[in-house]
Amino acid sequence: MLYLLLAIVAGSAINLGFALVKRRGCDNMHVTWVNYLTATTGACVLTLLANLPAARLNLAAALENTRGVLTPDGSLTVTLLLGTVTGLLYPAILLITQHSIFRNGPSPTTMFNKLGVTIPILLSIVLWNETPTAVRWVGIVFSLGALVIFNWDGGLRINGLLLLAFTGGGVAELAHKLFAMWCDEVYKPLFLAIVFGVSVVICTVLLARRGLRRVTGQEWLIGVGIGLSNLSSAFFVIQSLVTLPSSVVFPALCAGVILLIGKRGLAAICMTVIGLVLVNL
């Protein structure tokens, strides 16, 4: 449970960091690049400090890992493949989110992005038989209901961008769940190094195509803070998923962020507290 609380705090720090980007008029792409660069550097340091077992790429062993038989060869192979795919998805999800915020506004985008956690929750029921108890189902409904109340502005029209934000949010969290189930946790720093490393390469290409400009000191400071929070959040989410079911982790992450940074609606806050209590019973 400690790791879940730390993940909530780190996730809130990311949101506060990007809010600061807007308030200070920083270049969002510059801050995003520094964020991924910082997270990559931190993950690489953790990888060098980790005592990784000797292993080689082996697709057959990777397939066995997906069936629950964890081996060093299988864990390394899944880590490389899943990390690369996730690293490609991260910038794409970020761009979709930014475009949706521009078109639909921040509240609907945040709501659909966070509601995407229903994807890994439902898949966990199907793939790993993590069926929540009746009490936890009520807690999930309360937690997601609080998310809707907190972000509801009225007059919402569902469009393709909002659906993509929903899918992107779910897929990003699903990647953490897949790693927790299919890999030995000793490979966690390597997985994160690959994820953020691929992301920073893509961001570098996007910046080069746009035209390189100097990153200001303020953008460096905010980006480093977000990057450390990003790395910590991913690290603690995966660690939480190793010991807790998806039906506890993902609703708590959504509800916890509202509780820490939310200022709107006593009803949403009350539902958040009730939801957090119920999903942990």
Q: What pLDDT sits at residue 49?
A: 94
Q: What pLDDT sits at residue 58?
A: 96
Instruction: Report CA torsion sign: 235, 239, 241, 244.
Output: negative
34-74 pLDDT, tens digit per residue, is 999 999 999 999 999 998 999 999 999 999 999 989 999 99
Of residues 62 and 100, the one with the higher pLDDT is: 62
In angstroms, the CA 228 to CA 237 distance is 14
The number of folded domains in the chain is 1
Instruction: Decide if pLDDT at 176 tops 80.
Output: yes
Q: What pLDDT sits at residue 279?
A: 47
In angstroms, the CA 45 to CA 212 distance is 28
% of the chain exceeding 90 in pLDDT: 43
In angstroms, the CA 277 to CA 281 distance is 7
What pLDDT band is residue 267 in, cutting at 50, 70 and 90? Answer: low
Instruction: Decide if pLDDT at 244 tops 70.
Output: yes
Instruction: Decide if pLDDT at 179 tops 90.
Output: yes
Q: What pLDDT sits at residue 275?
A: 53
Domain that holds residue 162: 2-279
Q: What pLDDT sits at residue 189?
A: 96
Q: Are 228 and 37 in contact (CB under 8 A)?
A: no
DSSP-assigned letters across all residues of the chain? -HHHHHHHHHHHHHHHHHHHHHHHT--HHHHHHHHHHHHHHHHHHHHHHS-PPP----HHHHHHHHTT---HHHHHHHHHHHHHHHHHHHHHHHHHHHHHHHHH-HHHHHHHHHHTTHHHHHHHHHHH--PPPHHHHHHHHHHHHHHHHHH--S-----HHHHHHHHHHHHHHHHHHHHHHHS-GGGHHHHHHHHHHHHHHHHHHHHHHH---PPPHHHHHHHHHHHHHHHHHHHHHHHHHHHS-HHHHHHHHHHHHHHHH--S-HHHHHHHHHHHHHHT-
In angstroms, the CA 276 to CA 252 distance is 6
User: Mean pLDDT throughout 149-177?
Assistant: 79
User: Mean pLDDT throughout 159-166?
Assistant: 84
User: Mean pLDDT throughout 108-116?
Assistant: 77
Instruction: Decide if pLDDT at 10 tops 90.
Output: no
Q: Are 164 and 112 in contact (CB under 8 A)?
A: no
Instruction: Decide if pLDDT at 177 tops 90.
Output: yes
Q: Are 228 and 16 in contact (CB under 8 A)?
A: no
